[in-house]
Structure formats: structure tokens, C-alpha cells
Structure 1
Amino acid sequence: METARAKENNKMESIYIYKDEFGNECTFLKEKYNELVCAIITDFFEEPLPDNDFRSDFLNLLNTLEDYDDVYIITGEMPFYWAICIIENRWTSNHLIKNMTSDLFMEWYKKYKQENGIISFIIGGIDEDTYVFNNDEGDKSIFLRGKYYEFISDLVKNFFKKPHVYNDLEYMLIGRLNALPASGNNKNIEQFIGKELFWALSVIENKETTTVLNEKQLQEYTEFRNEFFKTHHITSFITNSTE
């Protein structure tokens, strides 16, 4: 049973909103992160939840975040390592205890994420708005990936009238947009250009989907896309680097 000190320390806002090193507004689900660490202690290691100095320090870290460096201090360590340190009430070189293996933990963690709807503890955005690549003629072109992501979001919310939920496919889309290599070509962006409907529908369904729109819907989609281009003063998601 938790003491008054533990209960007081355990009070926290559910999320922490901050700017990352790219200036993106990000959300750290710190309450869910704390719940995971507690679950590792009580459910995976089957230990009582301690009320000790190390746990107080850990909760204090979560409650006094000031910037993205503080978030990195938390997430730079694996959650099970925080759990072990709390159990032992000290920084420790142990990686697992009670003869548990990493494979057992990953099996448990996969089930935990599924049961609790965890995709990521950090919800971020597009790191850089533009991506420079070599086109087929060898010239520099620019992929407006920030605008591309914004368009996918608009499709989900304003064209298909669906809530824009952070799920596996949303996580995949952001990850792929951010992971474009520093030096690339047309092949790097083939997964995006002309596949706007695929990504929007996949985010809605939370699975890769090949749903086809009827003729009327396609016409409405074209009008919606053209209006987006007009509003944002672009004619395509790709421009010449000299423009």
C-alpha cells in the first residue's frame, strides 16, 4: 500500500508538451510511461511497488520536465531498466532480475502495448518541412514533405470526415517521412507521390488499404486537392530547387 509520500509524488499531468530539436511540437505521454514502469515492476517482475528514494527521484524527473533534453533523459533509458533501479533503489548494472530474459520481457511488452493501445510514448511531427533530392535528370528538386503530411491530415479530417488518430499507420507515415536519406532520388519519394489517398485511408483504417473511390468521389477528391494547392500557393508537392 502506498504511503502519503508516494501518493503525492505520483500525482502528475498526463502529458508534457514541448518543442524538439527541430522545433516540432511534441507530446510525451509521461503518465502512460510511468504506468508502464510500474506495470513492469508489479506485473512482469512480480514485485511490490516500492516507496523509496529512487522512485521519488524518478517521479520528480517526470514532474519537472523543462525541455526535450529532459525527455531524452527519461526515454534514453529502457523502461525495464528504470523498473530495476526502482526495485533496487539505486543505479545498477543489472539488466534483468529474477532470471527473467530479454525475450520474456519483449513478449510481455508486446502484449502490454496491445492491451493498452500504446504506439509510442512520444508523439512528434515532421522534422524538416522540405527534402532535397536528385530527380531523374540529375537536377535538384524539393519534396514538400511538411505540406504533404498536412494534406494527408486534411484528407482524413476534412475530406473523409474522420478523426485524425495517432495510430500505427500514422506513426509509420511520420517515421518514413522523417527517415528520407540525406542524399536521395526519385525512388525515395515514390512511396508518397501519387499515394495520398492510400496514406489517408490507411491512417483511417490503421492498416495498409487499397480502397478505391468511385468516380464521383475521385472528382470531389481532385477538387479538394486543387483547393489545398491554391490555399497553400503550390502546384505540386515537388518543386524545383530554384523556385
Structure 2
Amino acid sequence: METKYMYKDEFGNECIFLRDAYYELVCAIITDFFEETLPNNDFHSRFLNLLNTLEGYDDVYNITTEMPFYWAICIIENEWTNKHLIKNKTNDLFIEWYKKYKQKNDIVSFIIEGINEDTYIFNDKEGGKNIFLRGKYYEFISDLIKYFFNKTHEYNELDYMLIGYLNGLPASGNDKNIEKFINKELYWALSIIENKETTTVLNEKQLEEYNKFRDEFFETNNITSFIVSQS
């Protein structure tokens, strides 16, 4: 089984499903949480076949909309089952176990998403129409991490948070909705690098280099800002 499965979501964006990590979680629920021997039965084979024969968004959706512990129980029972938990385990116990498992295995999400829509339309304080280039914004954050700070752009809690904020901009189109992004590029890049919300002040030379880097990004992408006025 290949570790990663690349597919396009319902918005046409490239996504990655970490199916190997998902399978490892289901197995760990069986052996570590339920304290059962990993069965070599028909349902186990069926589950592996589902993971190995993915053909797009619908298949990933069908697998991940079921809770991982449900797949584990089905494998233990060797059938589709209505049982929710077994051996007197409670939901609270599972939540606590899963929290520790994610921390130990550095898991944020089993699906790495892209930016759903490249642009976001909003009104400024004067009522004028503007476009926030959120796709380019995220691309710039990634370039900052990789080429300005020379760090690996890792998919972690803060990257997950930024993608969620960008994808979750409300349809109300208020200028306050983008306040957490504009002029916060360094904050987001450094926070993703540290995987925690952080504030670092650049010295005068670094700030000059940053401004040059930003201007070169704008020139390369034929823009002058992440906000385009439509007034």
C-alpha cells in the first residue's frame, strides 16, 4: 500500500490522503486500545482492499466519514456491526487514548487539504468591492518558509489552522474577516515553522531582505498586493 494517495476534492483541489497512517491507526485501536490480536479475517482484507483501490474523492470520503474505531470494531467482529465500543470501553477513554496517540505520532489530520478557492470577495469600510487573493497568500507563506527562512514547510497544527481559516472565510464578505491575514505574513510563516503561535521581530537588515523577497514574489505573480480593488 502506497503511503499517500493524491486526489482532487469536490472543489478540484489537489489533496493527499495519508492512508498508510490511517491504516496504522485502525490497527493500533485494535491492538492497543481494545487489546485484541489483529485479526487476519475477511473484513480485514476488505478494509485493506478499500484502501488499496481508491479511485477519487468519493472513496476517500466514504472511508474517512466512518470513525476509525468503527473500522476497528468491524475488523474485530469480521462484519459490518452496530456495536460502537467493546470490552466496556467508553467514548471518553477512546478520546483520551486518541489524543495521546496523535501527540505521540505527530498526527494533525489524515487529509492534507489545499485552498478551496483562490479568491475571496469582500467589502471594505467604504462599501467598495475587493478581492483577497487567498491562494496567492498561502503560496507566499509557503515560499517564505522554504526560500526566505530556508525551512521545510511541514503540515502541522499551525499550517492546518491557517488552511482552515483561509478556507473558512464567511460569505458575509466583511473586511474584518481578513484582518488575521493582512500584514501577518511573517507571523504565519514563523508560527508554522515553530508549530506554535509566535512573534519574532526581524532586525533592520532582515526586514529589508524580507521586503525585497515580497516585492519579487509580487512581480513574479504580476500583482502588487494580496488585495485587488474592484471599485
Return the TM-score normalized by structure 1.
0.93
Does residue 121 of structure 1 match 2:110?
Answer: yes
Deviations 1:104-141 (A, max 9, x none): 00100010011111111011110000011111111221
CA distance in 1, matches of 2:217, 2:80: 53
Q: 1:60 aligns with which of 42, 49, 54?
A: 49
Task: Look up the SS of the partner of 2:6 in the other structure.
Answer: strand
2-structure distance, mates of 1:44, 1:70: 26
Matched, 1:196 2:185: yes
SS of the aligned residue for 2:122 comes to strand
Q: Deviations over 1:125-183 (max 9, x none)?
A: 10000011111111221100000000000100111111111111111111110010112
Corresponding residue number in structure 2 for 1:16: 5
Q: What's the counterpart of residue 218 of structure 1?
A: 207
Alignment length, in residue pairs?
231
- Residue 136 (structure 1) aligns with: 125
Q: Is 2:191 the partner of 1:205?
A: no
Q: Give the aligned residue type for 2:112.
A: I
Q: TM-score, normalised by structure 2?
A: 0.98
Map residues 10-159 of structure 1 onto 2, 5 A cutoff. Answer: 12-159=1-148
Q: Which of 154, 164, 178 matches 1:175? A: 164
Task: Provide, for residues 43-88 of structure 1, a one-character-per-residue CA deviation record: whole Å limited to 9, x for no partner.
Answer: 0000111111111111100000010100001101000010011111
Question: By how many angstroms is 1:241 displaced?
Answer: 3.1
Letter of the 1:205 counterpart: E
Unaligned runs of 5+ in 1: 1-11
CA distance in 2, matches of 1:223, 1:111: 43
**1:186 deviation in Å?**
1.0
Give structure 2 stretches of 5+ with no counterpart.
none
Shift of 1:102: 0.8
SS of the aligned residue for 2:126 comes to: coil
Aligned equivalents of 2:143, 2:2: Cα separation in 1: 29
The one-letter code of the counterpart of 1:226 is: D
Identity of aligned residues (%): 76
1: CA distance, partners of 2:54 / 2:63: 10
In structure 2, C-alpha distance between the alignment counterparts of 1:94 and 1:213, rounded to whole Å: 56
Separation (CA, whole Å) in 1 of partners of 2:129 and 2:219:
24
The amino acid across from 2:148 in the alignment is F
1:240 matches 2:229: yes
Q: Which SS does the other structure have where 1:169 is aligned?
A: helix
Q: Which has the higher mean CA deviation after the structures are superposed, 12-21 or 195-204?
A: 12-21
TM superposition shift of 1:184: 2.3
The CA distance in 2 between the partners of 1:241 and 1:53, in whole Å, is 59
Q: Which residue of 1 aligns with 2:151?
A: 162
The CA RMSD measured in Å over matched residues stands at 0.9
Deviation of the 1:89 alpha carbon: 1.1
